[in-house]
Amino acid sequence: MFRIRILRQRQDNYSYLIQSGQQVWCIDPAEAQPVLQLLQRERLQLVAILNSHAHADHCGANLSLQQASGCPIFGADRRIPGLTTELTTTAQDAALPFRALFTPGHTRGDCCYLLTDGVETPALFSGDCLFIGGCGRLFEGSAAQLYQSLQQFNTLPDHCQLYCGHDYALDNYRFASRLLPDCREIRHQLQHYEERQRQGQPSVPAQLGDERRANPFLRCHQAALAQVLGCPAAAPVEVFRRLRLAKDQA
């Protein structure tokens, strides 16, 4: 069985260690020292690094960790420091217990990682593609690209656990509650994450089913959201584009 360990890094980043026995896989390490200290303290072996994209707050520790361990580095963007295996499509790599999902939009080389074997519930590591209550900004890709990337998650079960790259839950659900103040699901999520913050708990993991019911970026097919955004007859991808723009300007 795999154990998922959450590491808070920088101001609001999440990095993850996926542990099986004394072996660990590290997802999106921003800072090397906390990872190295944990590896040394618990005598763990770093098997591989997996990066969701090439932004420094998700791969800033790559070279230090690679130098210390000799581990390979996986990702879908050649700009990732120390990259040894480029994941160019949605596929299962034989060297990984994860399935890579190619999800461009936030950047042109984004990918997410899905873990289904060796865990009680499936786990999606979504980087900056999908957040609790939100989604990533469009730095290099288009709204249509990110919208289509998010559709890949439609086949995942509601009980799938979401582990995203930043702790933006409160900010995202405060925006959502201003947009749709009468939505019971959004109010419930906002209260839930306010309580988690009061208790000093991380916002991750979230259940994908809860996100489908409350996260406005996963509800662009609903008429109420299109109406609020002033495009009642628009296709969901246009609703998504307007929603992302509204969040950028909030």
Phi and psi dihedrals of 166, rounded to 5? Answer: -145, 155
**Strand 99-102 relative to strand 111-115: parallel, antiparallel, unpaired?**
antiparallel
One-letter amino acid of 181: P
CA distance 52 to 173: 23
Beta strands in the chain (DSSP E): 3-9, 13-20, 23-27, 45-50, 73-75, 85-86, 91-92, 99-102, 111-115, 123-127, 130-131, 134-135, 161-164, 206-207
pLDDT (tens, 9 = 90+) of the chain, 250 residues, equals: 899 999 999 999 999 999 999 999 999 999 999 999 999 999 999 999 999 999 999 999 999 999 999 999 999 999 999 999 998 765 556 567 899 999 999 999 999 999 998 899 999 999 999 999 999 999 999 999 999 999 999 999 999 999 999 999 999 999 999 999 999 999 999 999 999 999 999 999 999 999 999 999 999 999 999 999 999 999 999 999 999 999 999 9
CA distance 123 to 116: 7
Dihedral of CA 12/80/29/162: which sign?
A: positive
DSSP 1: -
**Strand 134-135 relative to strand 23-27: parallel, antiparallel, unpaired?**
unpaired
Nearest Cα to Cα of residue 132 among 216, 200, 198, 68: 216
pTM, two decimal places: 0.96
Amino acid 180: pLDDT = 97
| Residue 134 · residue 217 · CB < 8 Å | yes
Amino acid 26: pLDDT = 98
CA distance 38 to 53: 24
Strand partners, 207: 161
Q: Is 99 helix (H, G, I), strand (E, B) or coil?
A: strand
pLDDT digits (tens, 9 = 90+) for 90-135: 555 656 789 999 999 999 999 999 999 889 999 999 999 999 999 9
Other Cβ atoms less than 10 A from the Cβ of 119: the count is 15
Phi and psi dihedrals of 132, rounded to 5? Answer: -65, 115
Amino acid 89: pLDDT = 64
